[in-house]
Amino acid sequence: MVNYGGDEVSALVVDIGSSSLRAGYAGDDIPKAIVPSYYGYKTTAGDGDVQMGESAPENGETISKPPSDAKLYLGQNGPSIWREGMEIGNPVREALIVDFNPVPALISHALVDVMRINPSEHPILVTEPAWNTPANRERMAEIMFEEFHVPAFYIANTGVLNAFAAGKGSALVIDVGHSMASITPVVDGFVLRKGLVSSPLPKLVHAHARHILSNLTPTRRPIDLLSHQLIANKMPVEPGAPPKFTLREDRIPGTTESWKGWCESREVDEWVQSVAGVLDQGWNEQAAASRPARQYEFPTGYNTYFGPERYQVGEQFFFHSPQLVASNPNLPKNIPTLLSESLRACDPDLRQVLMGNVVLTGGGSLFPGFADRLETELSRNFPHVKIHAPGNPIERKYGGWLGGSILASLGTFHQLWISREEWQEHGKAIVGQRCK
């Protein structure tokens, strides 16, 4: 045990992201519980509340906060099951927790309902994005100590943890998540805050994909992004032919806008995940056309082949067309821009070290060809670039959790826990002091 520096004290690691919450034992290589961060809620249990549906915001971007007495539907059987009048919420926006009300319920669902453990028996390590606010981390500590009665608590940075998951103390972590893309320089286990940059780039990619699907093209009419919960039956059709399906008319009136928006974006994500890719040598019409087209079938039964357009989606990570830049002044920065911005803020001595230790992580980086394209972009400007991109999708998606699992199972780490005693003695200030 002592040989590799590990000493497991049955600590838990909780990693809250925009798309899912990961929880598990420190020392494991896969989180035991993965529950979606999205949750369904109803203000009054039972009858459908049409007023609530109407008052909900039209687009899914802004989060409607449920009243504290709302009934929550969490986990795998939460938002994905159609319920009359159920709204969808997400406590996390741009990787930050903006609404702490449902967070205890989410964590409790993962720890108690899925993992079947008593949180008051285990030290808990929670992750936070590098741009987390002090108020947020203190609130998280408060939830852990006051609501879950944990014996010890620590909050660690996802950038650092991703570097640890790759086995590096110093690294340039490129994290492309569900809603945020960030670049974090890590030196000796500390984030260099001046070099930290982030942008909601994955959202732009998502919006672009939705734009491709729901707009008329010369070869295709707009595609209905209806989810299977709303479809009673469908007939198989030829590729490109109009779909033949019947809607579940009984469900249409009770469907809320937020649930519909969540379903649509899920359909878009599914399509992106199965079809989209990145050209590894930069944008080239011919190269994109020469790649084989992929067939994809939507829940309505409509299916067709997607050719070059599937590479346009991934291209948004690296290059924005001048028209797009001109039309949208608040366009999220693409990855090459973020990289140069981050490196400019770093010491010249450090740049070579960081470029030799690039860690690519996050579920959004799982586009086929993403790592190759990144390497192409980087080696254009730097002579010695080494990218660490785990081939295993679990490691890539849950890199932050994995790093936390490693950290919390180290014997030398146990002196850093904020104990219950310290919390009661020093209060919130201890969080900022201990977790640098």
By C-beta, is 119 or 123 nearer to other proteins? Answer: 123
By C-beta, is 2 or 235 nearer to other proteins? Answer: 2
Chain-centroid distance of CA 219 in Å reads 33
State how beta strands 358-361 and 171-176 pair: parallel
Which listed residue (148, 318, 367, 417) binds other proteins by CB under 8 A?
A: 417
Q: Which residue has the tokens 């050719």?
A: 307
d(CA 36, CA 20): 4
420 near other proteins, rule: CB under 8 A: yes
Q: How far is the CB of 353 from other proteins (least distance, A)?
A: 9
d(CA 228, CA 417): 46
Please give the backbone phi and psi of residue 419, each rounded to the nearest 5 degrees, phi first. Answer: -85, 165
Instruction: Return the closest-CA partner of residue 42 out of 69, 5, 4.
Output: 69
Q: How far is the CB of 148 from other proteins (least distance, A)?
A: 16
By C-beta, is 247 or 345 nearer to other proteins? Answer: 345
C-beta of residue 266 within 8 angstroms of C-beta of residue 119: no
Q: Which residues pair with 23 in a beta bridge?
A: 14, 33
Binding mask 156-195 for other proteins (x = CB under 8 A): -------------------------------xx-x-xxxx
Which listed residue (222, 412, 427, 429) binds other proteins by CB under 8 A?
A: 412
C-beta of residue 344 within 8 angstroms of C-beta of residue 155: no
Handedness of CA 126, 130, 136, 141 (dihedral sign): positive
Q: Counting Cβ atoms within 10 Å, is residue 97 exposed (0-12), middle (13-18) or buried (19+)?
A: buried
By C-beta, is 61 or 421 nearer to other proteins? Answer: 421
Which listed residue (13, 26, 92, 152) binds other proteins by CB under 8 A?
A: 152
State how beta strands 244-247 and 231-235 pair: antiparallel
By C-beta, is 58 or 421 nearer to other proteins? Answer: 421
C-beta of residue 180 within 8 angstroms of C-beta of residue 204: no
414 near other proteins, rule: CB under 8 A: yes
Q: How far is the CB of 188 from other proteins (least distance, A)?
A: 5
H-run or E-run covering 142? helix 134-142
By C-beta, is 329 or 383 nearer to other proteins? Answer: 383
Q: Which of 42-50, 325-333, 390-398, 408-416 is the region at the interface with other proteins (rule: CB under 8 A)?
A: 408-416
349 near other proteins, rule: CB under 8 A: yes
136 near other proteins, rule: CB under 8 A: no
Which listed residue (235, 348, 384, 391) binds other proteins by CB under 8 A?
A: 348
Residues engaged in binding other proteins (CB under 8 A): 2, 5, 7-10, 123, 151-152, 187-188, 190, 192-195, 347-351, 383, 411-412, 414-415, 417, 419-422, 425, 436
